[in-house]
């Protein structure tokens, strides 16, 4: 929910949402972070630790602005009740596209609490071809008053799943974010973010989707050697399997 006084932001401690937090803080905005506690996520401990560290770093960098980051509101995912309309919209979309389950309960939470314009840090990734849904979503977004939201003229009623959100960085790539961070000297804060879903020995695994995204988007330096080796090995196995299948069908 964004107004003249406060911006509500879904914050995960990851690169995209932290970039947006830095951007808002740098511009002197009051930010209300929200975080959904999902006990099934193996990375939850790392995400929470990253957010604590980032808050300290922001306080040191933006003495005045940091005071405008309100205490994070934590919501237990298991406490969110999915209404029938939201469930139907999600199921219809997930039949056609790969779309994360989290968008169902995020939408349900925003709807149940009467929130509007909740910022969600989704960026259109030109490298990540598997996310066809977000390209499709982009065709139904409009930009007005420096805010990107779902068009009310959208012909796909199932996209109303996202009507309670705004997408401030949808047209921004991670490379562009890094350039902006360097310009305003907060790239060291972005380096504190966490992205891996399945850490191994407290380090990025190199195999989950966020790790693959980091490697394929030019951020391989954020993945340890062990993770890079797993990534390359898995990629090699897929190529080998594909080649074997082709030979067998000839």
DSSP string, 55-91: HHHHHHH-HHHHTTBPPPEEEEGGG----HHHHHHHH
Q: Does residue 60 lie within any of the structural domains?
A: yes
Q: Does residue 181 lie within any of the structural domains?
A: no
Judge if 159 and 205 occupy the same domain.
no
* Residue with token string 């970039």: 19
Judge if 210 and 152 occupy the same domain.
no
Judge if 141 and 224 occupy the same domain.
no
C-alpha distance from residue 250 to each of 19, 86, 158, 236, 241 (Å): 50, 46, 42, 21, 15
**Domain range for 48:** 7-175
pLDDT string in tens for the chain (250-residue length): 555 578 999 999 999 999 999 999 998 899 999 999 998 889 999 999 999 999 999 988 876 544 589 999 999 999 999 999 999 999 999 999 988 899 999 999 999 999 999 999 988 765 555 568 888 898 999 998 888 999 988 889 999 999 999 999 999 988 999 999 999 999 999 999 999 999 999 999 999 989 998 998 889 999 999 999 999 999 888 777 665 655 555 5
Task: Give the domain-ending residue among 124, 144, 175.
Answer: 175
93: alpha, beta or left? (left if phi > 0; alpha if psi -120 to 50): alpha
Query: What is the total count of domains within the chain?
Result: 2
Judge if 171 and 200 occupy the same domain.
no
Judge if 168 and 244 occupy the same domain.
no
Q: What is the CATH number of the domain that holds 85?
A: 3.40.50
Task: Give the domain-ending residue among 175, 207, 226.
Answer: 175
The residues facing 119 across adjacent strands are 9, 166
Q: What is the rounded distance in angstroms from the CA atom of residue 127 to the CA atom of residue 110?
A: 30
Q: Do 224 and 230 meet the contact criterion of CB atoms below 8 Å apart?
A: no
Would you state the structure tokens that stand for residue 105, as one six-digit string?
């309960």
* 205-238: pLDDT as tens digits: 999 989 998 998 889 999 999 999 999 999 888 7
Task: Give the domain-ending residue among 175, 209, 240.
Answer: 175
Judge if 111 and 226 occupy the same domain.
no
Judge if 38 and 129 occupy the same domain.
yes
pTM of the model: 0.88
Judge if 84 and 149 occupy the same domain.
yes
Judge if 114 and 235 occupy the same domain.
no
Instruction: Transcribe 148-217 into DSSP letters.
Output: EEE-TT-S-GGGGGGTTEE-TTTT--HHHHHHHHHHTT-HHHHTT----SS-BTTB--S-SHHHHHHHHT
Judge if 37 and 77 occupy the same domain.
yes
What is residue 236's predicted lDDT score, i.e. its pLDDT?
A: 86
């Amino acid at each position: 929910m964004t107004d003249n006084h406060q911006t509500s932001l879904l914050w995960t401690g990851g690169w995209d949402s932290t970039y947006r937090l830095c951007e808002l803080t740098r511009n002197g905005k009051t930010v209300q972070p929200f975080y959904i506690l999902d006990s099934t996520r193996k990375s939850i401990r790392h995400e929470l630790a990253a957010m604590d560290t980032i808050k300290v770093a922001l306080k040191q960098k933006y003495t005045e602005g940091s005071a405008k980051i309100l205490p994070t509101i934590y919501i237990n995912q298991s406490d969110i009740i999915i209404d029938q309309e939201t469930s139907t919209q999600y199921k219809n979309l997930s039949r056609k596209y790969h779309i994360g389950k989290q968008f169902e309960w995020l939408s349900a939470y925003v709807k149940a609490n009467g929130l509007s314009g909740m910022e969600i840090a989704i960026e259109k990734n030109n490298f990540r071809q598997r996310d066809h849904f977000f390209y499709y979503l982009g065709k139904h977004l409009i930009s007005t008053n420096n805010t990107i939201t779902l068009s009310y003229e959208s012909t796909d009623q199932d996209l109303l799943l996202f009507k309670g959100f705004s997408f401030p960085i949808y047209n921004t790539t991670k490379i562009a974010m890094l350039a902006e961070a360097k310009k305003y000297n907060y790239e060291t804060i972005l380096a504190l973010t966490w992205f891996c879903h399945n850490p191994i020995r407290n380090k990025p695994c190199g195999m989950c989707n966020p790790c693959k995204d980091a490697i394929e988007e030019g951020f391989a330096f954020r993945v340890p050697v062990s993770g890079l080796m797993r990534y390359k090995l898995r990629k090699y196995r897929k190529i080998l399997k594909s080649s074997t299948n082709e030979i067998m069908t000839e």
